[in-house]
Amino acid sequence: MTKEADYEPSPAGWVRDQVAAYEASGGTRANTLRDTGLPIIVVTSKGASTGKVRKTPLMRVEHDGRYALVGSQGGAPTHPRWVHNLRAEPTVLIQDGPEPHRYTVRELEGPEREEWWDRAVAAYPPYAEYQTKTERRIPVFLASRAD
């Protein structure tokens, strides 16, 4: 999908540092959101405009080997940029532990979205509050193993 040489670290320092520490330790360090103790995954996507490799930590919302990717961005008024990347190119890498694996994502609607939204809130309760802070409907993608 992507070449590591094209990796462009996040401009957000805490995000960049989390990805670096997570990858360097094979997921044994920097594997929670700050001091919440709640686990994260790292999603690698291809920049929809630049083609650069983007690495995004997200909360770990897992069920039967699949993951929900929740574009909450703390309830900010606009979607995170990675949402546009996933809409343009649905093949991503997800690292949840020692190594990344390839996944295919699709954006959820209707009852399927509700089902996974409930799982997301169970895994990370602040998602519910984030939805009340923004007019936009928070996008939820489902990632399934591609290989």
- Closest residue by beta carbon to ligand F42: 47
Q: Closer to ligand F42 by CB, 44 or 147: give it.
A: 44
12 binds ligand F42 (CB under 6 A): yes
98 binds ligand F42 (CB under 6 A): no
139 binds ligand F42 (CB under 6 A): no
Q: Which stretch binds ligand F42 (CB under 6 A): 20-28, 67-75, 99-107, 110-118?
A: 67-75
Q: Which of 44, 71, 92, 140 binds ligand F42 (CB under 6 A)?
A: 71
3-state secondary structure labels for all residues of the chain: CCCHHHECCCCCHHHHHHHHHHHHCCCCCCCECCCCCCEEEEEEEECCCCCCEEEEEEECEEECCEEEEECCHHHCCCCCHHHHHHHHCCEEEEECCCCEEEEEEEECCHHHHHHHHHHHHHHCCHHHHHHHHCCCCCCEEEEEECC
Which residues of the shown chain bind ligand F42 in the complex (CB under 6 A)?
10-12, 15, 18, 33, 40, 47-50, 52, 54, 56-59, 70-73, 80-82, 84-85
